[in-house]
Structure 1
Amino acid sequence: MTVCEQDRDVLARTLWGESRGEGLAGMVAVAWSIRNRVNDGREKSWWGEGYAGVCQKPYQFSCWNKGDPNQPFLSGARQIPFRELAQCRLAADLVIDGKVPDPTSGATHYHATSMSPAPNWAKGATRTLELGHHIFFKDVP
């Protein structure tokens, strides 16, 4: 799959919106869950096509939803601080370029540890990792 500059930028912005407080390891884990959706093996994936398509598919990553406080930063209406975006870009590039292994063991979903109760989709899913303030899952029914 060809990855364009827009894919890298949208993934980095998604990492800022979803995991900027989690350090590089947490951002890499979130990026891998997105990569696992991108590479799900289906010709036309439900998740969307490519990194930008997966990240920006409505209601998949709340940071892109209208009304979310992160959305103006992701859309470019407000500026993300340079150093923060640079760290997100590093995590995005490491994952896209296959420079780091998948710490999530194939996860396609995650939620914040603060979510109580857990989302309905987590019931019956395989928990693969808890890192920082996120819990990762695969085999989501």
Structure 2
Amino acid sequence: MTAARTAWGEARGEGADGMQAILNVIGNRVKVPCWWGADIAGVCRAPEQFSCWDETDPNRERLLSVTLSDPQFREAVTLAHRLTAGLLVDLTGGADHYYDWRGPRPFWAEPRFFTTRIGHHDFYRTGPYSI
């Protein structure tokens, strides 16, 4: 459920494609274990990676208490099951990072790393590896 909560927490307002894209980033990171973690839970809860898990995030309580009665969370759970089964199509072109383009641009968001825009998120592949 950690992946589903992360997708819901980061992109519930972006629809199914937005949540799928967040799950793609999680999956792409898991494929290449690094400082960001080696498994789904580790990747999702790595410090300062997915803001929905930050202690100071104003929506964190909602993240921890959301149930299957929320239609967007049900969609996130379905997508997360597809991720763990290896059946989730990568919409991001192998992205391992993203940010909301309406906010400040992070230092790592160089144009040469850009892969796609989905909703309010720009996706980037910063690693020199192949996924």
Q: Does TM, scored on the shorter chain, surpass 0.5? A: yes
Corresponding residue number in structure 2 for 1:19: 11
Give distance in 2, aligned partners of 1:32 and 1:112.
16
Q: TM-score, normalised by structure 2?
A: 0.87
The answer (yes or no) to whether the contact 2:8–2:72 under 8 Å persists in 1 is: yes
The answer (yes or no) to whether the contact 1:64–1:70 under 8 Å persists in 2 is: no
Q: How well do the aligned residues superpose, as a CA RMSD in angstroms?
A: 1.8
Give distance in 2, aligned partners of 1:24 and 1:124.
26
Corresponding residue number in structure 2 for 1:10: 2
Describe the SS at the equivalent of 1:99. coil
Moved over 6 A (4+): none
The more displaced of 95-104 and 53-62 is 95-104
The answer (yes or no) to whether the contact 1:122–1:140 under 8 Å persists in 2 is: no
42, 47, 66: which one aligns with 1:58? 47
Corresponding residue number in structure 2 for 1:97: 85
Give distance in 2, aligned partners of 1:94 and 1:48.
20
Give distance in 2, aligned partners of 1:126 and 1:102.
16
Q: Is 1:112 aligned to 2:100, yes or no?
A: yes
Q: TM-score, normalised by structure 1?
A: 0.81
The answer (yes or no) to whether the contact 1:106–1:138 under 8 Å persists in 2 is: yes
Q: Is 1:39 aligned to 2:15, yes or no?
A: no
Give distance in 1, aligned partners of 2:55 and 2:112.
28
Give a deviation string over 1:80-100, Cα, whole Å, max 9, x none: 453221111012122222223
Give a deviation string over 1:73-127, Cα, whole Å, max 9, x none: 23x3x334532211110121222222232111110000012013x1111136510
The CA deviation at 1:13 is: 0.4
